[in-house]
Each structure stands twice: as C-alpha cells, then as structure tokens.
Amino acid sequence: MAKKQFILIMTDSQRRDMISKCNERGEDMHTPSLDHLCEQGLAFQAAYTTQPVCGPARAGLFTGTYPHTNGMLGNCMALSQQSLSIGQRLSRAGIHSAYIGKWHLDGGDYFGDGICPDGWDKDYWYDMRNYLDELESDEDRFRSRNLLTALDGEGVTEEFTYGYRCTQRAIDFIEKHKDEDYFLVVSYDEPHDPFLSPKHFYQPFYEPHLQKPNQHMDTSQLPEHIQVWHEKFLEIQGSRRDGFSVGLLGSNSYIDSQIGRVLKAAEENAEDAFILYTSDHGDAQGSHGIYSKGPAMYEEITNIPLIVKWKDQIEPDITSEMPVSHIDVVPTVLDFYGLPVPKSLEGQSLLNSFTAKDIAEQKEGRPVFVEFNRYEVDHDGWGGFQPVRCVVKGKWKLVINLMTQDELYNLADDYNEMHNLINDPAYETIRNQLHELILDWQNDTRDPLRGYYWEKRPWRKDRQKVSWNCGGYSRSRRREEGEVGEYGYSTGLPITEYNRKY
C-alpha cells in the first residue's frame, strides 16, 4: 500500500510571474526546477494569499482560517489560543509532521523564538533564530542580513545561506522517513530581503525584468493610500532599495536550485508523494508606483504561485484559471489523509478539483477573499492601520479600501489593473453583487472589524441608511471537538445556534 506522504514547499515574496512557466510575457526568470514541476503537474493562474504580508499569510495557510479569525492581523502578533495549526491536527491523528524553515507565527520578532511549537517534530525544527544561533560569530550574523555580503568581493557560498541549510534538513527527513506516512513543510525565507545567494545567480537580472505597463501609470487616479505609498517609493529610488530587484530575482533563481534538490530527493524516496508548492505573497516591483507588499490587492502582490503534483492522480502540464486560495490548503491536507474537516475551518478541500479531468476548463469557481489589516504591530510605518477587504470571482475583483477609495477591475480585459471601474454605472450590478459577497463573508467569518462603514460606500446608493445594530445578529465561534461550549448571555443555557438574532 502506498504511503501517505505530503510535501509542502514554500518561499517568501515570490509572485506568480517570477516563475518562467507562469510568466505571461515570456521572460526567462531562470527557474528550471519550478518550471519542471509545472510540467509534471497542475499550475493555478489565479491563486491568492489570505493577506499579503508574511505572518498573516502563513497564519491563513497553516490554520485554514483567515487572519481576522486566527488573531494574526499583522506581523509580530501571535496566533490565538483557539487556532490549531495543521501540524497539531495531523500529529493528534498520528501523522508524523515536520516543519523546516521560516515560521513567523509565534508573535516574536522576524526570526522566531527558536522553540518548536506543538505538533511538529522537534528533531527537525529549524526556524531563523536557530540559523542565527548556529552562525559562528556576530560578524557572520551581520553578514547574513546584508545584501552587500553577496554582491561584494567573493560573495557567499550556498552553504552559508539559510535556504541551503533548510534544504539539507529536508533531504535528510525525506530519506530517513521514506517508509512512513508523513507531512513535511519546507519553508524558505528566500527570495525575501536580504536576498543572499552565490553571486552568479544575480548576473541575468542586471537587465530589466518584470516590466509591466502599470509601472508607468498615472498614480494620481489611484486610492489615496497608494499615492502616499508612491511618495515613499520615489524617496527610495536611487538608494539601496533601488537595487533590490537584482537581489530579489537573483535570490529567486537561487532558491529554485534548492527547491530542485528537495524535489529530486522526493522523486528518489517518495515518488507517490503529493507535492504542493506556493509562496506567501508577491512583490509590487514598481507596479502602480509602489514597492514590496502591503495594503494593496493588486495581482503583483496577492496572486501567488500554487503548483500541485500527484503521480497518476493529477494530469501533468496543465493550468487552471479557477480562483483558489491558501485558505483551502488545510482542508485539502486533511482530506488527503482521510481526516474529517472541522466546521471551524473557513476554506474547503480542493482535492477533488485537483484531480478533476476538466480542471483546465474551470474558470469561475467560488469567490476568493483577501484581506489586509496591518503590516506589523511593532512598526509605525507601512501605512499603519489600513483595513482592506477584497473578493475575486471569475474575472472580477472588488477592493474595499475602508479608509480611502475603492476599486473594481475586470481582470480579463484589464489584467494590469489600470482602469478602475468602481464609479462606472455600466458595472453597477456586478459591483453590488461582489459587495454583498464581501459583507456576507465578513458576517459568516465573524470579522472583528465588520460594521456599517463597510456597507455605506459612496457608490452604494441603496446602502446609505444604516443601523447601529448592523446585521442584528450575534455570531458565535464554532467550537473544536472537546472545547468547552458557550452559554448564551441572556439565558445562561448552552448555545445551539451559532448565528442568532438579538
């Protein structure tokens, strides 16, 4: 009987078109390993993060709940006590689970606390603090955080990088546990800043890449917070960050080589394993006049790679336009192992979609939601509090920028998102339908920021009269099996309805 083995590989800050096979403009991104994985499996063109910043994105990916549900509204905020990771769920079901690499979910600093959380194999735990602690000197620690380390002089060896050391541990796990069921996560920090890699990986990217027309658009027509962000972008052009494109794309090519080593080990020791590859979020790279990631729902920031391979189960070398989300990964993993999917999870299994013969023809699917709350609780910057809620359904994307102006895009006709249709009366019907989807989603998921201000948008003329009671419902959190139940405030009796009028 074939072993149940699932290998999830992810990077940080890799948008979809940073893979050659996923780049519509035909740019060579020097990613042969991921290109080959695309040829072996199914690649989604419309896969989305739950929130485009490191920690909250991982929170959605590894809990199956949105950041506004699991408590990780920004970086350096810990998961709520009620939020279980996929490692906890699987290990309690007897599935050996290991996590190697960047975690970013403990509420500490960027590097983590070096302590293995519940649910994961302590022998393989290796977060970024573990990496820093094993470096030989303070000088090496500083070198590990500075791009110039790699660009100047002889540069760095691959053995010095975090990515290489994660790969070594991943290969060791795959080889030693080839005869058992397991779930393995390999989570690289690369190609995130400081972008370290051996020097030759940077060479192709001294020529411009990721060139798009929306890098040169008139930003005065964009929402106010994007214009403020653009002002910061203009400040840093010509500074150190101006060379970050070379670093990002060189590191992207380098980590592809490390991913290739893991995929080779899997082919040799776990040929029937389910392989899922993704990234936490993208990077604007100057599109819409901004840089990095944050409170913007543009494709360059939210549309991430999602590639799956499963020998004899998933058709090779196919793509799908159906929108999918990180929120569905945990239910999919549970389904893969034949485990029940709790009602507390906010996504659904994609296992049947992955193996469907007509997946390449499916374009609509169900709505996909993306949010933003705050970049990081420690920092004053990055726009501070910037609540955003977004829905993608088929070719349409509606963005509610709560504190500035909203956006509506037809992704089929305007993939570069240069023509905001939010106030165009010709699209009132679809705009309002999408708006209702966002409001219903906020209610269904108990969004703590829900309220009438999301309803009363200037373009929504039939939603101008609002109520202090908003929807007028009390909405309880769905309990996990074994959790203490909830008593009703006015009755003192066990609650039997999760949503009830008050």
* Burial of residue 122, with CB atoms counted within 10 A of its CB: 0-12 exposed, 13-18 middle, 19 or more buried: exposed
- In whole angstroms, what is the distance from residue 191 CA to residue 252 CA? 5
Angle, vertex CA 394, rays to CA 287 and CA 389, nearest 5: 60
Pairwise CA distance, residues 444 & 265, whole Å: 42
Q: What CA–CA distance (Å, rounded) separates 274 from 279?
A: 17
Is 116 annotated in the active site? no
How many C-beta atoms surround the C-beta of residue 500 within 10 A?
Answer: 13
Distance CA 190, CA 400 (A): 31
Residue 323 CA, distance from chain mean position: 14
Pairing, β 473-475 against β 499-501:
antiparallel
- What size, in residues, is the chain? 502
Known catalytic residue at 54: yes
- Cα separation, 72 vs 54, in Å, equals 10
Catalytic residue among 30, 104, 281, 326: 104
Q: What are phi and psi of 204, to 5 degrees?
A: -65, -15
Q: Considering only CA atoms, which of 317, 305, 260 is closest in space to residue 278?
A: 305
The residue type of 491 is: T
Q: Is the peptide bond before 494 cis (omega within 30 degrees of 0)?
A: no
C-alpha to C-alpha distance for 91 and 284, rounded to whole angstroms: 37
Cα distance between residue 502 and residue 495, in whole Å: 13
Going 155 to 160 to 161 to 163, the CA torsion angle's sign is positive
**Distance in angstroms (rounded) separating the CA atoms of residues 273 and 185:** 13
Q: Which two tokens stand for residue 470?
A: 């908003």
**Coil, strand, or helix at residue 198?**
coil
Six token digits for residue 224: 């106010």
The C-alpha torsion from 78 through 325 and 343 to 487, rounded to 10°, is 40
Catalytic residue among 22, 38, 54, 116, which? 54
* Block residue for tokens 């994105």: 57
The DSSP code sequence of 382-395 is TTSEEEEEEEEETT
Nearest alpha-carbon partner for 383 in 288, 296, 283, 286: 296
Q: Which residues are catalytic?
A: 54, 104
